[in-house]
Structures are given as C-alpha cells and as structure tokens.
Amino acid sequence: MARSTVRPHSETTRRTPLRTFLHTDDGVTIDSVYDPGAVVYDFSRPLAGDLAFVVAHGFTGDVDRPHVRRVAEALTRHGAVVTFSFRGHGASGGRSTVGDREVLDLAAAVRWARELGHTRVATIGFSMGGSVVLRHAALYGGEVDAVVSVSAPARWYYRGTPPMRRLHWLVTRPEGRLVGRYGFRTRIHHREWNPVPMSPVESVPRIAPTPLLIVHGDQDGYFPLDHPRMLAAAAGDHGELWLEPGMGHAEHAATDALLDRIGDWAVAQGG
C-alpha cells in the first residue's frame, strides 16, 4: 500500500501495546513489551517509517520501572518501541550476569521487532544496557540499523567512583547479592565471568558501518568522561559523541528533550 503524502498537522493515532515472554537462545524467558507508538503526522518531522527502538535498561531496572516507561513513552513519538527486562530483573527468568549473557536477551528483543514487521531497528541502551548494545552490534553484525549507547562504561571492572565501588560490592559479595535480590528486585549470578566478555571499547570498532551515537553526561557520577572519549576514539569517523552539560547518569538523567533529539537522530539514519 502506498503511503499518502498528505499529512494533516499534529494528527495522532495510538495502538494497543503487546506483552509477552520471549525466549533467548540459552533458554531464558524475557518479559517484553511492544508499543506500536503514535503515528504522528507533523510537517516539521521526518517520517519514521517502519522504525522500532529496542530499549536496553540499566542494572536494577526492569520493564515496569517508571524511568524505563518514561524513556519508552518519549521514543514512541519517533517509532514503535520494544522494552524488556534483562535476565534476573523483574519478571524475567534467570540471573543477571551484569552485561555478559544479556546480549542474548537483547538479541531476542531485536528478533521480535523484526518478526513484528519492522524493517529498521535502532537499539538504545543505558549504563549496563549501553554496554550491551555495543557488544550486541559487534557480535550480531547487520542485525540493527543504528546504535545509541548512553552513560556506558568503556572498560570492565571500573571502581574509580563511589557508586561503582558500591555496585561491585553488590555484585561480588553474598550479602550484596541479597541486597540486590530483596532491595532492588535483581537476582545476580554468583559466578564470575569466564571467559571475560569483549569489553565495550573493544566492541566499538566492529560496529562500523552501522551508525553509532555515544551520549554521556559531564556530571555522570559512575563513569567519568574518559569513558565516552575512549569509546568515541575507538569508533573513529563512524561514531558520534554527545557530551551533555549538566547531565548525570543513565535513564534518570536523560531529559525528554534529550530523548527527543536521540529519536530524531535515529530517524535520520536512513533506511
């Protein structure tokens, strides 16, 4: 069916979200939500076409957290949105491996977006999710059409800030994992990585020619600015770096205006 070129200004329609459990290649069930979004007819914006965003949340997030829902709501202005809970988070099965096997969770969500008929898929990840979208794009070449990594680390085992020292206690100590389970609804695997997965900065050069956007706040309390700069240097000419004045860390710090700019960037990546 041909798309009409007559678009009444600010006319919007909305369809009903879908919710299901996806299955990863290693057999973990992943709680997932698909929001077809709003079809907005507005002369001031490019057409999103068949674009779907797949949102990868940060550590201790899940699909029902208010900050995750806010991100999804903002992105529906630009396309459909798939959100999901990583393994060990919310209603998903399994245990968190803090960015390692979570690549399989993202792969299942991207596959679902394709099965729903979307010809263009952009991944957007925050913090831990930001590292996962980088590794996914490197390992699953050509599966996505654009990648946005927000507040991500460049390297593993970073303990240079108080929040990251607290996070390492949460992950590595038995009492920390109890706090994670009952305080943050996050079930963390007790085993250490073996082998250690490819780091975000090692992953970035393998993403080209897929468009890559790296977003980081200059007030990020978890990962200082050497992290996004390392990622941008590894990306070379195929990556774009936005250093956001006054922004803190991840979803909580991403304003609606920033999310709108990210949506515009993804729509503009062709396809």
At residue 37, the pLDDT reads 78
Q: Kindly state whether residue 47 falls inside one of the protein's structural domains.
A: yes
**CA neighbor of 24 nearest in space, from 113, 119, 105:** 105
At residue 12, the pLDDT reads 44
Exposure string over 240-262, b if 16+ CB within 10 A, otherwise e: eebebeebebbbebbeeebbeeb
Q: Kindly state whether residue 164 falls inside one of the protein's structural domains.
A: no
- Residue 150 per-residue DSSP state: E
Integer CA distances (angstroms), 124 to 121, 161, 173, 245, in order: 10, 24, 30, 20
Write down the H helix ranges in the chain. Answer: 66-75, 102-115, 128-139, 162-172, 174-183, 200-203, 226-235, 250-253, 256-267
The gap from C-alpha 51 to its chain's centroid, in whole angstroms, comes to 15
Nearest-Å Rg of the Cα atoms of the chain is 18
Q: Kindly state whether residue 45 falls inside one of the protein's structural domains.
A: yes
Write out the residue range of the structural domain in which residue 243 sits. 11-156+197-267
Total domains, the chain: 1
pLDDT in tens, the chain (271 residues): 333 222 333 344 456 789 999 999 999 999 999 999 764 444 344 444 589 999 999 999 999 999 999 999 999 999 999 999 999 999 999 999 998 999 999 999 999 999 999 999 999 999 999 999 999 999 998 899 999 999 999 999 999 999 999 988 989 999 989 998 988 888 999 998 899 999 999 999 999 999 999 999 999 999 999 999 999 999 999 899 999 999 999 999 999 999 999 999 999 996 5
At residue 180, the pLDDT reads 86
Q: What is the CATH number of the domain that holds 259?
A: 3.40.50.1820
Q: Kindly state whether residue 2 falls inside one of the protein's structural domains.
A: no
Q: Kindly state whether residue 247 falls inside one of the protein's structural domains.
A: yes
At residue 10, the pLDDT reads 38
The pTM assigned to this predicted structure is 0.89
Residue 212 neighbours by CB under 8 Å, 6+ apart:
137, 146, 147, 148, 149, 204, 235, 238, 239, 240
At residue 14, the pLDDT reads 54
Q: Kindly state whether residue 6 falls inside one of the protein's structural domains.
A: no
Q: Is-contact 75 124, C-beta < 8 A?
A: yes
Four-CA torsion 103, 132, 263, 186, nearest 10 degrees: 90
- Residue 55 per-residue DSSP state: E
Q: Kindly state whether residue 95 falls inside one of the protein's structural domains.
A: yes
At residue 204, the pLDDT reads 98
Q: Kindly state whether residue 184 falls inside one of the protein's structural domains.
A: no
Q: Is-contact 189 97, C-beta < 8 A?
A: yes
At residue 113, the pLDDT reads 96
